[in-house]
Amino acid sequence: MKRRQFMELAVVTLAAGAAGACVPLAGTRLGIAAASRSRPTDAVAFRAARRFADLPFGKIAYVERGTGDAALFLHGAPLNGFQWRGALDRLSPYRRCVAPDFMGLGYSQVPEPQSLAADAQVAMLAALLDSLAIDKVDIVASDSGGAVAQLFVIRYPQRVRTMLLTNCDVEPDSPPPTIMPIIEMARAGTLADDTARWISDKDLARSTFGAAVFRDPSGFADETIEYYIAPLVSSPLRRAQYHAYHSALEPNPLAGIEASLKRSTVPVRIVWGASDDIFLQSDAEYLDRMFPRSQGIRRIPGAKLFFPEEFPDVIAEEAQRLWRVPA
């Protein structure tokens, strides 16, 4: 395969880390609509809100908004907590919303020997919640963050009230075949160089990565590209960790979890982009079968992998509905 063809295949699948009819995007509740009328959080405001928790794993970056019962938002790759800014705008009146950056992505700072595998991310999240005096959370997760969420609910079932999953890894499809070229590039040490090109050529970022993961890639703003990509390629260590994060996606981090998922008592709602080319539509059906307390699937027409960033009203509506389900 020629390098250009390989890179095009890679960049269109870079995002992946890992039963209901289609319904329209309209119909959000008035409370959510009112909350979203305030000025949306931009990169400057999100950066200003960033905090760091000093943990045995390193300095873990996170943004926290709101009070009361906590909700934990887990992002995909190569993103960070900024993915959830629209959801935080809408849901912080109802929850203490915490959006951390995974180790190896975003603005978290971890030492070179630290494992970046999914099980280590689970342990880091538990330590982060302990440091914030949070006993129990509602989880909202996407992409490789969804894989971490499934492992978290198995390891710490008593710490999870509910779980909202969007397009993400499942045991039979982790990692999905479409991202194997990305893992190969990470192991070859070339992934960071190709990703860094998006900072200087943002149209390239929109036409490749953006087109793969957003319904409307023109909305993938310059400041968003900078906020996601700049920390990943900011130093030799960060580049190496960016590679390590992706290398750790294979072998399958979810191998053997099916039986445990079937014993879960946590209410789960699945919201799936119906036009995602990375995770299968049948993956949503698999999750619906695995979780005994699944609240069903909502499919979003035309939506791709990172639709939560484009349609935060959908996330807010579904989260609030799920949060009313009795424990």
pLDDT band at 327 (very low <50, low <70, confident <90, very high): confident
Rounded to whole angstroms, the Cα distance separating 106 from 91 reads 22
**Res 59: pLDDT:** 98
Mean pLDDT of 82-110: 98
Are 287 and 270 in contact by the 8 Å Cβ rule? The answer is yes
Q: Are strands 58-65 and 51-55 parallel, antiparallel or unpaired?
A: antiparallel
Are 270 and 296 in contact by the 8 Å Cβ rule? The answer is yes
Are 281 and 274 in contact by the 8 Å Cβ rule? The answer is yes
Supply the pTM of this predicted model. 0.91
Rounded to whole angstroms, the Cα distance separating 89 from 309 reads 12
Share of residues in the chain with pLDDT > 70 (%): 88
DSSP H or E run through 179: none
Q: Are strands 268-273 and 160-168 parallel, antiparallel or unpaired?
A: parallel
DSSP H or E run through 319: helix 312-323
Are 221 and 86 in contact by the 8 Å Cβ rule? The answer is no
* Domain 20-179+254-323 = CATH 3.40.50.1820: yes
For the chain, give every domain's residue range: 20-179+254-323
Q: Would you say how long the chain is, in residues?
A: 327
**Res 313: pLDDT:** 98
pLDDT at 62 over 80: yes
Are 20 and 297 in contact by the 8 Å Cβ rule? The answer is yes
pLDDT band at 37 (very low <50, low <70, confident <90, very high): very low
In one letter, which amino acid is 84? Answer: W
The residues, ordered by sequence, that sit 6+ positions from 297 with a Cβ below 8 Å of its Cβ are 19, 20, 270, 271, 272, 284, 285, 288
Rounded to whole angstroms, the Cα distance separating 282 from 269 reads 15
pLDDT at 136 over 80: yes
Q: Are strands 70-74 and 137-143 parallel, antiparallel or unpaired?
A: parallel
The SS3 call for residue 159 is helix
Query: Residue 180's Cα: distance from chain center in Å?
Result: 19
pLDDT at 36 over 90: no
**pLDDT tens digits for 214-256?**
999 999 999 999 999 999 999 999 999 999 999 999 999 999 9
pLDDT at 20 over 50: no
Mean pLDDT of 176-199: 98
**Res 112: pLDDT:** 96
Q: What DSSP state is assigned to residue 206?
A: I
pLDDT band at 31 (very low <50, low <70, confident <90, very high): very low
